[in-house]
Homo-oligomer: A and B are copies of this chain.
Amino acid sequence: MKAIILVSHSEKISEGLKEMLEEMIDSTAVRIISAGGTGDGRLGTNAITIYEHLNACCECEEIYIFADIGSSILSSETAIEMLDLEEDRQKVTLFDAPLIEGAFIGAVQASIGACTEDILEEISLNK
């Protein structure tokens, strides 16, 4: 099982994207997690929320994060650093890709069993 965490400044965006991906892929193979907004309804990001989602899916073999602009990336990096175990941090890939288009490729590829390197290559080909 792989997990994809969606980090946006807007909870509506990450929720909408989760729904979209779950309709498009086999979501029994990939767990899609919405981690947008500050956690109290405002626009922004929250490293603690992202960390809690990361921590809750440490049993997954790989965890992929797709984030939108600015502080989404910084908060995701902070959340990864907060994980206690190096082996958990090693499972996490924060993709340098646009949120919607990157997560779409990541979810489709992960759902058909592609490895992280193949997904990185597929995303790079679509830039």
- Give the number of residues in A that approach B within 8 Å (Cβ atoms): 23
* Cβ–Cβ < 8 Å partners of A36 in chain B: 16
Do A101 and B98 contact each other (CB < 8 Å), given the known contacts A11-B16, A16-B16? yes
Q: In the complex, A10→B24 CA distance in Å?
A: 12
Contact of A13 among B23, B98, B100, B102 (CB under 8 A): B100
C-alpha spacing A78/B19, complex, angstroms: 25
Cβ-defined contact, B19 with A16, below 8 A: no
Closest Cβ neighbor of A68 among chain B residues: B100
Can you list 5 A-B contacts with CB-CB less than 8 angstroms, sorted by A residue number? Answer: A10-B20, A11-B16, A12-B12, A13-B13, A16-B36
Please, how many angstroms separate the alpha-carbon atoms of A27 and B88 in the complex? 43
Residues of B within 8 A of A10 (CB): 16-17, 19-20
